[in-house]
Chains A and B, each alone.
Chain A
Amino acid sequence: GAVVSQHPSRVICKSGTSVKIECRSLDFQATTMFWYRQFPKKSLMLMATSNEGSKATYEQGVEKDKFLINHASLTLSTLTVTSAHPEDSSFYICSVFQTNTQYFGPGTRLTVL
């Protein structure tokens, strides 16, 4: 299946700063990528669907101005958490869709102090 990487794997930032997380499809050109958020000991919550060359589609309740998504190429999607606050601390995971299956990246642990 598709190989997906994320960078950074872990980031700590101060409250009020912005953080960018990259998701790369290493061996597959992905027109669609997904961004999930996972709370401790909880399931994954789909935040948005990232579409190459067009605006992302956000799930209900997800602030699009807070979580900026850019899918500038077929191999790269970025999630920027703007003006981060401690409640944004979480595990963020991206995935790509290939042949009826989603393949996930290793995740990024964001801690906002």
Chain B
Amino acid sequence: GDSVTQMEGPVTLSEEAFLTINCTYTATGYPSLFWYVQYPGEGLQLLLKATKADDKGSNKGFEATYRKETTSFHLEKGSVQVSDSAVYFCALRGSGGGGNKLTFGTGTQLKVEL
């Protein structure tokens, strides 16, 4: 079945550092890929998405490129801020018969310090 693998956290960075959170997936066909962010005590917010190979999703300085050849969707940001501290989830929606269900990775906690 479909699966998503994320790098384990927590990831601790200094403000203005470069961020990469790795995400790889296993799925048949052509899934849609998503990054969600969860701030403490809150639900998930859609951060960005990509629906086909080589698409780049971007939002709030974050970017991720759908790489079918490496089955990856790594999240990057050039300069993180303390306000980016949160848990980041990579997810996919399969193109098969699973309907509109999302398969999530385990989440990566990011801590940004001054």
Contacts and interface: CB of A to CB of B under 8 A. Distances in A.
B46 A105 contact: no
B32 A44 contact: no
Contact of B46 (A1, A32, A46): A1
- Per DSSP, chain B at the interface is strand
A49 B101 CA distance: 8
B49 interface: yes
5 contacts: A4-B43, A42-B107, A44-B104, A101-B34, A102-B34
B106 A34 contact: no
Interface residues of A, number: 23
Contacts of A100: 32, 51, 93
Contact of A43 (B51, B100, B105): B105
A44 B89 CA distance: 9
A103 B101 CA distance: 12
Contacts of B45: 104
A76 interface: no
A109 B41 CA distance: 9
A109 B42 CA distance: 10
